């Protein structure tokens, strides 16, 4: 046999997997949306700021020109308050039994999609409310058939001093496709809903229909405010605009080994070494958010080169083929980043896995108790954190 015998090397003290959040990218994206949007920009920081850290993103976006914050749940809004953020916050996804009292006490504005929600909010008193019309998703928001009744009940509650209707919101189903007919249907329905609200005596001043895609593609949807989520994080579903990705995910090579041609690697032996191969073990798996469906075709970046993922991504670890590179134990692998140095991007991971970029960024598990350490800062700080 001329093949090398299997060898084995183990790293000792080395860096943990790290998710670096470049807040200068968030700020640059925010500034761009502030220029494009006709009205105000609400920074959508739900799902822990799409996995980037809600409070850090919120601060960066507000400094860069956003004037409002948006989240799904009241709990998310209260967490922003607890982190010291005083800007206006809107929460739009809550059960009728939500803690409306806590929302009111913290000055959190709430979306109201139904009579039942309205009654619960009115009972507590003092809320600033955005009535929510279903502009075509058939998911959240009040269906047109119940809209007039909702507006009349809201006006009655307002006259009774129980709440104040400050806004009207809707959300579009296919805004990333400029030509989709549902966009004009949604715009028309939103305009109709506003007329109906006004004729019921309501005077909402925050009128918002557009999220990232509609803000980029259709000024007719802008009204007085755009709710920007994906775009803040460098994700452009419309593929029309140069946005800056903010995440870099790195991990150390913790082991290397050389295997003989014909060696099956990982669960199910989904990959067999076609030649003698030097393999690297990366301590990140699907529990950390690497999509297992990307096991075929995915790449990482180490020692200046792209290396292929081989075998199945498992829960805690992934194997890469280091054959022909200088990469060794302790070297830092870049799993994803903005792409400046040739590393894979979130968009590539989305293509490899068949997922959305949104799923990739929100899927990386970096919250309390997780194995990935998250650091946030301006680029210079982030880079220091990496070394």
Ligand X SMILES: *Cc1c(COP(=O)(O)O)cnc(C)c1O
Binding site for ligand X (CB under 6 A): 44, 46, 92, 171, 211-213, 227-231
* Residue closer to ligand X (CB basis): 92 or 271: 92
SS3 per-residue string spanning 41-85: EEEECHHHHHCCCHHHHHHHHHHCCCCEEEECCHHHHHHHHHCCC
Task: Provide, rounded to whole angstroms, the least separation between the CB of residue 137 and ligand X.
Answer: 9
Element (H, E) at 228: strand 225-228
Task: Provide, rounded to whole angstroms, the least separation between the CB of residue 360 and ligand X.
Answer: 14
Listed in sequence order, the DSSP H helices in 106-180 are 115-124, 144-159
* Residue closer to ligand X (CB basis): 134 or 299: 134
The DSSP code for 143 is -
The DSSP code for 232 is G
Task: Provide, rounded to whole angstroms, the least separation between the CB of residue 88 and ligand X.
Answer: 15
* Residue closer to ligand X (CB basis): 46 or 257: 46
* Residue closer to ligand X (CB basis): 251 or 361: 361
Report the 10 Å Cβ neighbour count for 12.
Answer: 7
Task: Provide, rounded to whole angstroms, the least separation between the CB of residue 149 and ligand X.
Answer: 22
Q: Which candidate in 8, 46, 233, 286 is catalytic?
A: 46
Q: How far is CA 39 from the centre of its chain?
A: 22
Task: Provide, rounded to whole angstroms, the least separation between the CB of residue 90 and ligand X.
Answer: 9
Residues 138-154, buried b or exposed e (16+ Cβ, 10 A)?
A: eebbbeeeebeebbbbb
d(CA 363, CA 79): 20
Q: Which residue is nearest to ligand X (CB)?
A: 229
Task: Provide, rounded to whole angstroms, the least separation between the CB of residue 212 and ligand X.
Answer: 3
Could you tell me which residues come within 8 angstroms of residue 103 by beta carbon, excluding any fewer than 6 positions away? 74, 77, 78, 91, 110, 127
Could you tell me which residues come within 8 angstroms of residue 264 by beta carbon, excluding any fewer than 6 positions away? 271, 272
* Residue closer to ligand X (CB basis): 117 or 278: 117
Task: Provide, rounded to whole angstroms, the least separation between the CB of residue 226 and ligand X.
Answer: 8
* Residue closer to ligand X (CB basis): 212 or 318: 212
* Residue closer to ligand X (CB basis): 231 or 280: 231
Residue 250, token pair as written in the block: 């790195």
* Residue closer to ligand X (CB basis): 235 or 309: 235
Task: Provide, rounded to whole angstroms, the least separation between the CB of residue 86 and ligand X.
Answer: 22
d(CA 348, CA 337): 10
| Active-site residue flag, 286 | no
DSSP per-residue codes, 272-320:
E-SSSEEEEEES--GGGT--GGGTTT-EEEETTEEEEEES---SS-EEE
| Active-site residue flag, 46 | yes
The DSSP code for 133 is B
| Residue closest to 281 by CA, chosen among 309, 259, 254 | 254
| Residue closest to 287 by CA, chosen among 318, 308, 263 | 318
Residues labelled as active-site residues: 46, 267
């Amino acid at each position: 046999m001329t093949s090398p015998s299997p060898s084995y090397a183990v790293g000792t003290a080395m860096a943990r997997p790290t998710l670096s959040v470049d807040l200068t990218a968030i700020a640059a994206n925010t500034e761009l949306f502030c220029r494009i949007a006709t009205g105000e920009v609400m920074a959508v920081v739900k799902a822990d700021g799409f996995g980037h850290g809600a409070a850090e993103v919120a601060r960066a976006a507000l400094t860069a020109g956003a004037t409002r914050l948006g989240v799904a749940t009241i709990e998310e809004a209260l967490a922003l308050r607890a982190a010291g953020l005083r800007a206006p916050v809107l929460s739009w996804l809550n059960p009728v039994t939500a803690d409306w009292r806590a929302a009111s006490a913290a000055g959190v504005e709430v979306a109201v999609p139904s009579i039942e929600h309205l009654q619960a909010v009115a009972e507590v008193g003092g809320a600033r409310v955005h009535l929510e019309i279903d502009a075509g998703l058939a998911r959240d928001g009040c269906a047109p058939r119940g809209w007039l009744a909702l507006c009349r009940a809201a006006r009655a509650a307002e006259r009774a001093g129980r709440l104040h209707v400050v806004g009207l919101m809707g959300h579009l189903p296919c805004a990333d496709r400029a030509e989709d007919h549902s966009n004009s249907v949604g715009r028309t329905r939103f305009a109709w809903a506003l007329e109906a609200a006004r004729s019921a005596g309501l005077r909402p001043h925050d009128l918002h229909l557009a999220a990232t895609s509609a803000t980029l593609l259709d000024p007719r949807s802008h009204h007085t405010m755009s709710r920007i989520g994906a775009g803040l994080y460098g994700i452009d579903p419309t593929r029309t605009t140069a946005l800056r990705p903010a995440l870099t995910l790195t991990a150390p090579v913790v082991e290397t080994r050389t295997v003989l041609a014909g060696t099956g690697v990982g669960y199910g032996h989904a990959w067999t070494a076609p030649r003698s191969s030097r393999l690297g073990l990366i301590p990140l798996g699907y529990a950390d958010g690497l999509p297992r469906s990307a096991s075929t075709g995915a790449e990482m970046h180490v020692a200046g080169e792209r290396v292929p993922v081989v075998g199945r991504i498992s829960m805690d670890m992934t194997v890469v083929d280091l054959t022909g590179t200088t990469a060794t134990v302790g070297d830092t692998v870049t799993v994803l980043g903005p792409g400046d140095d040739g590393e894979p991007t979130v968009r590539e991971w989305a293509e490899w896995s068949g997922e959305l970029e949104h799923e990739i960024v929100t899927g990386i598990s970096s919250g309390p108790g997780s194995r990935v350490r998250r650091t946030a800062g301006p680029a210079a700080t982030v880079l220091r954190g990496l070394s």
